[in-house]
Amino acid sequence: MRWFRFAVFISLVTVLQASLLLDIIAVTRLGIKPNLLLILLVFFAIYCNTTDAIITSFIIGFAADISIGSAMGSQTISFGLFGTALAYLHRVIAIKNYPYQSLAIFITALLAGTLAHFLALLKGQPPIPNIYTAILGTALYSAIVGPFLFLPTAWWMRIRTHRFSRH
């Protein structure tokens, strides 16, 4: 793993996630936009070895907590837990095709979003109106956009995806 590239990349994506730039492609009425950090969580869980995937899951969760700006720790725990589970699952099931990657992003987004919401409620955060619509919409939007961001991410991180090999 190229950790300096990873740190720069996660910093840029965290700033992009927290900025108003993603509001351009958001579903305006509901405020639903793709979760780029969650897409990266699934990417690193699929394409890195298990140890690197676990470390990156917690780092990306911490970056998600920073980008949201509230309830510190809920995203770190949920991203770390489900990123670790996905990394171990990938050791058993190959997730290399776009439909499987989309499904992995969708399920991970639903589970991590729900767990982060419950953890935020346990910390005393006020409930967010229409949270389940937002979680479902974000999961669906991220699942559609996610696999198309895997190749540029692999190029930046210099990770071989072996997508175009003869095997």
Block means of pLDDT (10 residues each) for the chain, 167 residues, are 94 90 71 90 94 96 87 88 95 88 96 92 82 91 93 90 55
Token pair of 32, please?
């639903």
Is residue 163 in a domain? no
**Domain presence at residue 104:** yes
**Residue 57 counted as domain residue:** yes
Classify residue 124 as left (phi > 0), alpha (psi -120 to 50) or beta: left
Residue 53 lies in a domain: yes
Task: Give the range of the structural domain holding residue 109, as residue numbers without chain letter.
Answer: 3-157
Q: Does residue 105 lie within any of the structural domains?
A: yes
- pTM for the model stands at 0.89
> What is the predicted pLDDT for the residue at 167?
45
CA distances from 100 to 13, 47, 96, 154 (A): 23, 14, 7, 17
The amino acid present at 4, given as its one-letter code, is F
Residues 120 and 69: beta-carbon distance below 8 Å: no
Q: Is 32 helix (H, G, I), strand (E, B) or coil?
A: strand
Q: Is residue 102, in this structure, part of any structural domain at all?
A: yes
> Is residue 164 assigned to a domain?
no
Structural domain count, the chain = 1
Is residue 162 in some structural domain? Answer: no
Q: What distance in Å separates the CA atoms of residue 117 and residue 74, rounded to the nearest whole number?
A: 8
CATH of the domain at 78: 1.10.1760
Task: Tell me what pLDDT residue 153 has.
Answer: 93
**Residue 93 carries which DSSP code?**
S
Distance CA 165, CA 135 (A): 36
Name, in order, each residue with C-beta under 8 angstroms of 138's C-beta and a sequence gap of 6 or more.
32, 33, 34, 35, 109, 113
